[in-house]
Structure 1
């Protein structure tokens, strides 16, 4: 006896919501009841790759087979939305991934209609993901979206253009909590701030790789001579907790409750950037990517954000000596930065984890440390780095810091000879664990390193992490101490 089918429709909808999209759609063939449940399900998630193939990407937009598939696709989405609207059902989520439609000429009016119906049906989550955005292929977001006052999450990605006409509308985004804009073209630089300023309750903001139309290129197709967003001011956002901002040179944030910030300028050779966080006194997590000399900026900033717990510097150009301090700092990561860094001095008495990824060059020292502090070093090993590893490990001060090492070896960084045991002047820090991440099936490439580790670094344990495609048996973790 089918007891599940007898459950209230709201519970059946919850069951569908827990299934992958394809499996949820298959339930409509189980029975008439499940078919009705599917067509009243207030979540519509459609991906064009389920209707088109990679070969279709190469088809001509006028190809009759491609057009027939397009008709099936658009009719399916339209009917689902019309059923929900006609039944007076509030649409909880509308997710459209149209990545397999490189030409939006034949579908843009359908997308306009779908957004219109969703807005009229009280849509709460709207995600529209496109590709392209090349010469004249941008999809212009319809103005009807400005009336979607029920929206609490909006995600727009790739090949979408926001027309300056949005500046003339009072956007009704009073319920918006999450706003994510990636690879978007703004018809005017003011459109972006206009959008954000009408989201007073926004909690999470993402702006990645957004461009602005060049006002001097009106005769060219939109986006043919665009430029990066240069400046962004975020003020009066009392609820903002998290932001990820990339490819914006100047950022001014007035959000007293901001806790998590990821910032990347990517200035194409320009060494200057502006990141004003004076009022962000509750910031807890800060990640800086691809910046030049952020360490100098940090020296002036860190005392203004006393609650900072996590700091990440990724692929930044830094000074030869960097000083990091923070009374509440618990996690610090220095990852893939330039090889100019020779000395890293850290004064963070509550630091629990320090992660370093790069070569074996810098001296890392701690002025005040927690008894629980661990240093996790990820180093790409080759013949040259092998000889510097011992010195790198010994230069981690003080000696009582627990250190874990992950050493990467691949075909391009092989160790080709038996290496002598390195004589060290003093015992290195307490090595808690060593992991070899091997991308080679030749034992001669990593056995010399393993032999040296067992003789020189005194690790408590050592293990291998092997690539599964090499069909190598996993190496059992060996405890080196009782």
Structure 2
């Protein structure tokens, strides 16, 4: 890199940014080193050892909740405790093996690798949860293959396997696909084996799959999903240039794809799919858009975050274009939550918003984000929106709208005014102003543009909350944890929105968060 006039440290910084993004999306381990322990006397006042009276099952439950180093140390308490440790399902989180307060990025890979090898070899199993995220496996592929064999033999259920990258891709051992006991699997920064590596593989219990910055070919992810009949949650992160994803699954309920480059995403047949969340599409090379096609998804309820500048949306066999004539058979009536990211200063983006809203006539919650726009192509006033005409979802269904990254531009104000003048059942509105660091306007100036909106034509009474962002321009990256919570009816809604709701009728309340 130096010979080419490049800075090697820039590669280090890029690598750490990549790893930070991946780690933010990994599932939380079931044990933590930050928990507060309280020491209690093992002997009561009458001299009876209460711990000895506990059943082995209860002791195993206690030990399984300890970090692996603390759990192993219980074996020296007594002969009985040694048996408890060996019979407790193993929970191994390699970040908890790092000493001296070091971060995973600065951990000694040989030391962590040796410790992991010792623990996996000496514990008889079963393995309940194993998270391995600290190692640069390009230099330890022999150990990696042994680990995979041990994990398969001990029936691991929850596995997170993330490589710390060198300059070259490290292939995943094909033996990974012999682990039929998995219920959750996250893999990061690997090269996927060729499709032949999945021959005969089956994951009958796999419920959640995460694929982060993994080099894959067309059909690799499709084949993995097809061999996972219980899979409910599929999370994908990272660049996958030229990949066409085709989803066929009778069990999938949640699909999240973020920070990605793909040629196309096609939901061919997913009868149980409840939510499809696409975030931070980087767009294929050459400035083309990612094609998103919705085929058979009769339960799709949450859809976002659609960006008309980056996606071409196709519903069944119809490509959505501005001004297209829509028949009832072309609509998706099940979607209740819709998220759009729009550059309000770009005509080609803005004219697609009415088309999207017409294809989803039963939207009750609309989450808008005003995307950064360096070169305004025009100003879209209220007359533009009045010429759009009536939209069923706005008139009769829309109850909640959030508008994030509000810049107080005329085109944004016109859109909001159109909503307020037409949404007959609107109940809750949240407008989040952009962080003042990224605009020439003050918070008071942005607020005044809302306060000065003429309200004599508004057709409903609604609660309005105004808040100010203190985060980065363009908002923080999406995290899988939000969408994977299947109990959350609207994971796209701003986290603070629930606490911002106030009982105000056509009045304005400001919240600064």
Q: TM-score, normalised by structure 2?
A: 0.65
Indicate yes or no: 2:247 matched with 1:234.
Answer: yes
Q: Provide the aligned length of Structure 1 versus Structure 2.
A: 386
SS at the partner of 1:145? helix
Residue 433 of structure 1: how far off its partner (Å): 12
C-alpha spacing 1:58/1:201, structure 2 compared with 1 (3 Å): closer
Partner of 2:272: 257
**Residues 278, 304 of structure 1: 8 Å contact kept:** no
Query: Which stretch shifts more, 288-297 or 75-84?
Result: 288-297
Alignment of 1:66-465 (within 5 A): 70=110, 72-85=111-124, 89-98=125-134, 101-102=135-136, 104-105=138-139, 107-132=140-165, 134-136=166-168, 138-158=169-189, 160-164=190-194, 166-167=196-197, 169-186=199-216, 188-211=217-240, 228-235=241-248, 237-245=249-257, 246-253=260-267, 254-264=269-279, 265-267=281-283, 270-288=287-305, 291-292=308-309, 297=320, 304-314=331-341, 318-319=349-350, 322-323=353-354, 324-325=357-358, 326-339=360-373, 342=380, 347=394, 349-358=396-405, 359-361=407-409, 362=412, 363=414, 364=416, 365-366=419-420, 367-370=422-425, 373-380=427-434, 381=436, 384=441, 386-387=444-445, 389-393=447-451, 394=453, 397-398=458-459, 400-408=461-469, 459=508, 461-462=509-510, 464-465=512-513
Contact kept in structure 1, 2:198 and 2:224, CA below 8 Å: no
Cα shift readout 1:37-88 (whole Å, capped 9, x = no counterpart): 33433133222473367599679xxxxxx5xx72x53443233323443xxx
1:271–1:292 CA contact under 8 A, matched in 2: no
Q: Distance in 2 between matches of 1:193 and 1:131?
A: 26
Q: Deviations over 1:378-419 (max 9, x none)?
A: 113465365454344416744633211013579x9xxxxxxx
TM-aligned CA deviation for residue 255 of structure 1: 0.7
Q: Is the 8 A contact 2:97 2:112 kept in 1?
A: no
TM-score (ref. length: structure 1): 0.68
- The structure with higher relative contact order (CA 8 Å, sep 6+) is 2
Match of 2:84, SS state, is: helix
C-alpha distance 294-267 of structure 1, shift in aligned 2 (>3 A): closer
The SS at the match of 2:214 is strand
**CA 1:95/1:49 → structure 2, altered by over 3 Å: closer, same or farther?**
closer
Q: Between Structure 1 and Structure 2, which shows a larger proportion of helix residues?
A: 2
For 1:55 and 1:18, locate their aligned partners in 2 and report how far apart those are by CA, in whole Å: 22
Query: Greater strand percent: which structure?
Result: 1
Say if 2:66 is the partner of 1:37: no
**Secondary structure of residue in 2 paired with 1:349:** helix
Contact 1:255 1:279 in 2 (8 A): yes
Change (3 A) 1:57 1:330: closer
Q: Over aligned residue pairs, what C-alpha RMSD do you find?
A: 3.8
In 2, the alpha carbon distance for the partners of 1:56 and 1:251 equals 34
Q: Which secondary structure does the structure 1 equivalent of 2:191 belong to? A: strand
Q: Does the 8 Å CA contact 1:329/1:348 hold for their aligned counterparts?
A: no
| Equivalent position SS for 2:88 | coil
Q: Work out whether residues 289 and 309 of structure 2, in 8 Å CA contact, stay in contact via their aligned partners in 1.
A: yes
Alignment partners' CA distance in 2, 1:140 and 1:349:
53
Q: Which residue of 2 aligns with 1:3?
A: 50
Aligned partners of 2:53, 2:469: CA distance in 1, in Å? 56
Cα displacement (A) at 1:239? 0.6
What residue in structure 2 maps to residue 477 of structure 1?
A: none
Distance verdict in 2 for CA 1:311–1:73, change over 3 Å: same
Shift of 1:309: 1.7
Where 2:206 maps in the other structure, the secondary structure is: coil
Residues 243, 262 of structure 1: 8 Å contact kept: yes
The alpha-carbon deviation at position 338 of structure 1 amounts to 4.1
Shift of 1:234: 1.3
Unaligned runs of 5+ in 2: 1-42, 44-48, 314-319, 386-390, 474-496, 501-505
Gaps of at least 5 residues in structure 1 are 60-65, 212-227, 413-431, 436-456, 466-482
Shift of 1:7: 2.5
Q: Distance in 2 between matches of 1:30 and 1:352?
A: 61
For 1:418, the equivalent position in structure 2 comes to: none
Distance 2:207 2:173 in 1: 21
